[in-house]
Amino acid sequence: MIFYNDLREWPSIMLKEGHEWLKTDFNFQLPSFCNSTSSATSRVQNPEEGCFILNHDTPILNRQTAYNTSDDLLNLIMDPLYKYWFTNPNQTVYIALCFKFDISSHADVCDNNTGLLWRR
């Protein structure tokens, strides 16, 4: 299985290559990261609750290319342009979600309310 965290690749994967199995990494980030304009996550609906970015490794705050988020993935799935690919009765599309959180850089996250945000 191949990771497809860059949603810009999905149209060619779906339409040209016809993949039915996709895997994404949902990397939970704290509100401080999600609220930062430099992380290019301004498309997150509720950044004050944290966010899931699609990235396998530890994210970089000042990255030039925007991270895709779980909100972006949901928008793509609901996009009328790609609706047939997800609703075709002759094909089932599987999307595996690999959840990640770097507890080593946020050792105190479970000791306060911030750690509860991902469960909402």
Each residue's pLDDT tens digit, 59-85? 887 777 788 888 889 999 999 998 888
Mean pLDDT of 92-102: 86
Where are any strands of DSSP class E within 13-104?
Answer: 21-29, 51-54, 94-100
Instruction: Give the pLDDT of residue 15.
Output: 67
| Amino acid in position 48 | E
pTM of the model: 0.76
Residues in the chain: 120
Query: Is residue 1 in some structural domain?
Result: no
Both tokens assigned to 116:
């509860």
Domain enclosing residue 55, as ranges: 7-119
Q: Is residue 2 part of a domain?
A: no
Question: Does residue 31 fall inside a structural domain?
Answer: yes
DSSP type of residue 27: E
Domain tally, the chain: 1
What does the mean pLDDT of the chain come to?
Answer: 78
Higher local confidence (pLDDT), 28 or 17: 28
Per-residue confidence (pLDDT) for residue 112, from 0 to 100:
54
Question: What are the distances in angstroms from CA 8 to CA 5, 14, 72, 74?
Answer: 9, 11, 10, 14
